Chain A
Amino acid sequence: MAERTFLLHVAGLLAVPLLAFAQEIPESELQLNLNTYFDNFDVQVIYPSLSVSRKISPSSSVNARYLVDLVTAASIRSSIHSDTTAASNGGGDDGTVDGVTSASRRGEGYAPDDVRHEVGIGFSQAIGGGVLSANGLYSKESDYRSETVAGTYAHSFLKKNSSFQVGYVRSWDVNSPKTVDWSAPKNESIYSFNYTQIWLVNLISQAIFTYDVATGLLSDPYEIVFIENADPDRYEPVHPDRRVRKAVGLDFHYKLNESSALLTGMRYYWDDWDVRSFTNSVTVARHVGETKTISVGVRNYVQAKAFFFRDSYVAPEEFMTVDSKLDRGYSNSLEFKLTIDGGGHDRAATFLEDERVQVNALVDIYHRHTRTENWFSGKRELFSLLLSLGVRYRY
């Protein structure tokens, strides 16, 4: 689902804390983020988010979040059905859909091509030496709706040298493509198990296993599979209607000295569509001065293709796709992060006099190579830039 995924997943931002490891009751905090994304497929996304948590007692906390996605894609609009049913479905002004982002077209000029809203609420409660958290979120845009609930339980033991967390996420989505007159459900269940272990006074690790079962419409109906010499020559992609995805991750954090740490991570992923991948990352984080922390990280990712991905199709098959995410490829990224805490004597701005304030800035430069050209842009190389600026205020 190309960048539809991006819209819906950027939202994942709100879903993120659903499974974030929580051994302690969250403190009262307000966080405002402004994130932007650009790539050489002419996609631009701006997504501000607001998150607030409130500790209502020593053993409980509530939270709420709101996010908006504003997507603009300058690439050509296209779809098999865009001339027919789209306009009647009430989405974009001209009823067309962007072939890369799957964003519904709203109009010309500076208007975003699609807007998505998401709200979430949740709570955390200390129970029997552990922490129970539950969250719910609702996401809506012109052609997609999602409802999600999630729960986690985290517990520490052995002088808090060891801890585990079990988590469950369940979502019910409805995809209503602008270009057709039908809707299709997509349901997903994610089970997770995290285990954190302190090994030494300066070494800690975390192992994570996730088991994800998705059913329903798992393809992007806006994508087009071209079959030469066939009549017709354009087809909607057909993916299996069930996907079981598993991943194991293992992270080590090692404190090098008083001011620096080395953070390493690796992940192996496999699923029943034959996609396999391996990811590794290394980050060095360092305190600079009294209140600043910088980190530099690199990440590498390699992937095998899905069993039904073809360079081209000569005849309609049971399963067909043009989704680059299902092809063989690799990616590399470089990330810079700066955190400035309020208080201290080396503050750079007046509002940083307050020690309850924290400012975060993130720059991520990304390159992806796929074995075959993207079905829409004709490019094998994707370059993108992610910029994020956030302010946290603990009250």
Chain B
Amino acid sequence: MTVKCAFHLVVLCIPVLLTGCASVEPWEKGDLADPIMQFEENPIDAGIKEHYLDYREGSVGGTPAQSGGCGCG
């Protein structure tokens, strides 16, 4: 169990450790600011999709659109 937890911790830390690799200046972020590049440009739309999946599948979480108090699952 400890090994498993450590593995998950390492996996989660990889992006943090690699942070130093990236150095994009503010004026270079034009493409990234495009709405089609946003993770949750419209949370309501994201929620519609996510929650109608939640009730038909046994898994939740791991996406930007989370909820609580909905009796899901």
| Contact across chains for A245 and B60 when beta carbons are under 8 A apart | yes
| Contact across chains for A169 and B22 when beta carbons are under 8 A apart | no
CB distance from A265 to the nearest CB of B (A): 8
A253 within 8 A of B: yes
**In the docked arrangement, what's the CA distance between A195 and B46, Å?**
18
| Contact across chains for B19 and A245 when beta carbons are under 8 A apart | no
Contact of B67 among A18, A49, A195 (CB under 8 A): A18
Say which one of A78-86, A146-154, A348-356 lies at the interface with B: A146-154
Report B-chain residues with C-beta under 8 Å of the C-beta of A106: none
Contact of B69 among A148, A202, A277, A368 (CB under 8 A): A148
Contact of B71 among A144, A277, A382 (CB under 8 A): A144
B3 within 8 A of A: no
| Contact across chains for B50 and A12 when beta carbons are under 8 A apart | yes
B11 within 8 A of A: yes
A residues neighboring B (CB under 8 Å): 1-6, 8-21, 31, 33, 35, 37, 49, 51, 137, 139, 144, 146-148, 150, 158-162, 167, 169-173, 175, 186, 188, 190, 192-202, 204-212, 214, 218, 243, 245-249, 251, 253, 255, 260-261, 263, 265, 267-269, 275, 277, 279, 285-287, 293, 295, 301, 303, 306, 325-326, 331, 333, 335, 337, 339, 360, 362, 364, 366, 368, 382, 384, 386, 388, 390, 392
B residues neighboring A (CB under 8 Å): 8, 11-12, 15-16, 18-19, 21-26, 28-32, 34-40, 42-73
Instruction: Kindly list the 10 A-B residue pairs having the minimum CB-CB distance in the complex, ordered from nearest.
Output: A16-B47, A148-B69, A171-B69, A247-B62, A15-B67, A169-B68, A249-B62, A210-B61, A247-B61, A12-B67
